[in-house]
Amino acid sequence: MKNKAGLVENIRERLKNPLIILTIVTVTIAIYISAVQISIGVNYFDVFSYLNVALFYAGMGPVNPDLLHGPFLIPFLTSLVFRAGFVSSNIIIIIDAIIFIFGVIGFYLLLKQRFNEIQSLCGCLIYISFPLIISWAASGSIDVPAISFSIWAIYLMVRGVEEHSKYLYLALPLFVLAVLTRYTAALLIFPMILYLAMGSALEKGLKTHLTHLLVAGALITPVVIYLYQKFKYISYLLLLMNASISNWRSIGMGDVAYNPDNLYYLHNLLNYMGLGPVKGSYYQLFSPSQAVPSILSYLTVVLVLCGLSIYVYSILKNKIEQVSQRDKKSLVQIVALVFLIILSLVSFFYLSYIITDILLFLTCLLSYKIFHHGKNSHLKIDLLFLCWFLTFFIMHSTIPMKVDRYFITVLPALAYFIILGLSVLIERYKLRINNKTWKTWGLYAVVGLIFLTSSTVTFMGHTPNTCLIKYIEPSTQWLEDYDPQCQEKVIFSDYSPAVSWSMKKMVIGGVLKDFKNTNEFSSMLTAAGAEYYIDALSEKKPVLKDYHVIKENGDIVIYQKNEDFES
């Protein structure tokens, strides 16, 4: 009985550990959102592309060569499971969920470098509750996995600089994994170098940190070269970086996502914190800019801005007190800082994001030099997160291709500043409650639970029962029964990645809106030798010259070439 009682007591103690609590909460949420996604099916265009590439990596079929320029890691991990004999779209959803859990744990460890345990737990719950996180975490996409690897790269960089340089051996590989998951993660190099350069880390880096980074780099270089030669992913990344400098204003012109407004993400910032009302469409959950922000979002912004204002004021006040007792050198530095800030703002609207990010880097470095002293021991990591937030915010804001999920790259930094602002207010004005446990846990626990509850309730209110793939799969199965030789025939579709995945063959993409009229589109199909055309996305199904409808299933319509239909 004593042993049993001791075991129960040990479990109770462990369950009081914020990391254990966070892990249980995160795993529960990951299982739930994975089950929902598996139930309704994959509903995102690019995920089918990753699945088709995974089939190609597993040696199970051909693929459009253009898809091999895309992200490598998630399709590769999925292909390993395919090789084991488990071929299902559920695999990529489960992989996403596992990496999401991995990322949340890493974010907790990263926040602990700045906050206490309960504050770090609250920050992670806020991060999980963001609509873009909870909706994309187990969708099969690459955005949340990329940010999960980015979190670990930053965490290991911080540990490597502050504690032991051995952590840097892992920081660079995690950075490479992030880049291989999503190419824009390459910009993480700005906040990473900034943290290495701030304070005494610069001198130490030349002797210790740089050595470890060079060793890790030497080990990774052969892998990068192999990927460059085999899959052309790195070359595509460099091409996009070059395009962003030379003709970035014209990128994506004519695309449905084209939006040259540099303040697009700022206008929708409240939506990215929380959505309301509870009921809404699934599309609004994946694209919060199409919905309305919740009351919680407005309240959070007010409280966080108050907290951050108090924090910034204290830093400025301490600096002013120092300047009055020292020479004029600090005034010159402050003037230079103001000049850099103004230059950065001008660059944001008129120049390449690369130039703006470089100016931002210099601004953060000079800010550290000016304001760092004994009372501001956390300024280094605060500037790290500021650089993280603005680096990606600037890039995604200035490139005209605007998609809500791109904002996922800045959400860890956004959660960081939310908990920073709230913690300043809570610690300064916390209630006089005698219960010690409540004083330690209560306020932060309530804040975290409010965010999490609001998010999960909204998610349940927006989730549909099914999606388009549920109609595509039976339609393609019908086609294979109708024409057992269709695998050898040319098939076009306006939703080619999904149809390719469903049929396990390469289906060519053809979208009606890219042509002047239906006759031109039909002529293209005929010239390409298309035996079948599968329309999934058109609101009004077209009448195609030389083709007849042979099957309708919901939004799915299958057309067959006339001569084959008549024979």
Q: Which two tokens stand for residue 16?
A: 């009081």
Alpha-carbon distance 385 to 158, whole Å?
A: 11
Closest CA to 283 of 99, 464, 456: 464
Burial 265-281 (b: 16+ CB within 10 A, else e): beebbbbbbbbbeeebe
Alpha-carbon distance 494 to 514, whole Å?
A: 10
Q: What is the pLDDT of residue 237?
A: 56
* pLDDT tens-digit profile, the chain (567 residues): 556 656 556 666 666 789 999 999 999 999 999 999 998 888 888 899 999 999 999 998 888 877 777 788 999 999 999 999 999 999 999 999 999 999 999 999 999 999 999 999 999 999 999 999 999 999 999 999 999 999 999 999 999 888 877 788 888 889 989 988 998 898 999 999 899 888 554 455 555 556 655 665 666 666 665 555 555 555 555 555 554 444 555 555 556 677 888 999 999 999 999 988 777 777 888 889 988 999 999 999 999 999 999 999 988 888 777 766 556 777 788 889 999 999 999 999 988 888 999 999 999 999 998 888 766 778 999 999 999 999 999 999 988 888 999 999 999 999 999 999 999 988 887 655 555 545 557 788 888 888 988 888 888 887 776 778 888 999 999 999 999 999 999 999 999 999 999 999 999 999 888 888 899 999 999 999 999 999 998 888 989 988 999 999 888 999 999 875 444
Task: Count other C-beta atoms under 10 Å from residue 17's C-beta.
Answer: 12
Query: What is residue 81's three-state secondary structure?
Result: helix
Closest CA to 367 of 199, 148, 527: 199
Asked if 501 and 520 count as a contact pair (C-beta separation under 8 A), the reply is no
Task: Count other C-beta atoms under 10 Å from residue 419's C-beta.
Answer: 28
Give the β-pairing of 547-553 and 556-561.
Answer: antiparallel
Alpha-carbon distance 523 to 402, whole Å?
A: 33
Task: Count other C-beta atoms under 10 Å from residue 84's C-beta.
Answer: 10
Alpha-carbon distance 184 to 405, whole Å?
A: 13
Q: Which two tokens stand for residue 508?
A: 């060519």
Q: What is the pLDDT of residue 256?
A: 67
Give the β-pairing of 508-509 and 491-493.
Answer: parallel
Alpha-carbon distance 435 to 11, whole Å?
A: 23
Residue 504 burial (10 A CB sphere; 0-12, 13-18, 19+): middle
Alpha-carbon distance 307 to 419, whole Å?
A: 9
Beta-bridge partner residues of 560: 532, 548
State the first-to-last Cα distance of the chain, in angstroms, to the nearest integer. Answer: 82
Alpha-carbon distance 327 to 333, whole Å?
A: 12
Whole-number Cα distances in Å, 285 to 24, 101, 293, 546: 24, 20, 11, 40
**CA-CA-CA-CA torsion sign (148, 154, 155, 157):** positive
Q: What is the pLDDT of residue 465?
A: 67
Closest CA to 282 of 395, 139, 145, 170: 139
Alpha-carbon distance 180 to 184, whole Å?
A: 9
Neighbouring residues of 336: CB distance < 8 A, sequence distance ≥ 6: 366
Q: What is the pLDDT of residue 7?
A: 59
Beta-bridge partner residues of 378: none
Q: Using alpha carbons only, what angle is made at residue 228 by residues 157 and 223, rounded to the nearest 5 degrees?
A: 50
Q: What is the pLDDT of residue 468?
A: 81
Alpha-carbon distance 494 to 182, whole Å?
A: 25
506 phi/psi in degrees, rounded to 5 = -80, 115
**CA-CA-CA-CA torsion sign (105, 109, 112, 113):** negative
Alpha-carbon distance 481 to 487, whole Å?
A: 11
Alpha-carbon distance 182 to 302, whole Å?
A: 33
Q: Which two tokens stand for residue 100?
A: 């999401």
Burial 233-258 (b: 16+ CB within 10 A, else e): bbebbeebbeebeeebeeebeeeeee
**CA-CA-CA-CA torsion sign (14, 19, 25, 29):** negative
Q: Which two tokens stand for residue 194?
A: 């900034």
Task: Count other C-beta atoms under 10 Å from residue 63's C-beta.
Answer: 18
Alpha-carbon distance 339 to 362, whole Å?
A: 11
Q: What is the pLDDT of residue 223?
A: 61
Beta-bridge partner residues of 552: 557
Task: Count other C-beta atoms under 10 Å from residue 111's C-beta.
Answer: 27
Q: For residue 319, how far is the Cα from the chain centroid?
A: 37
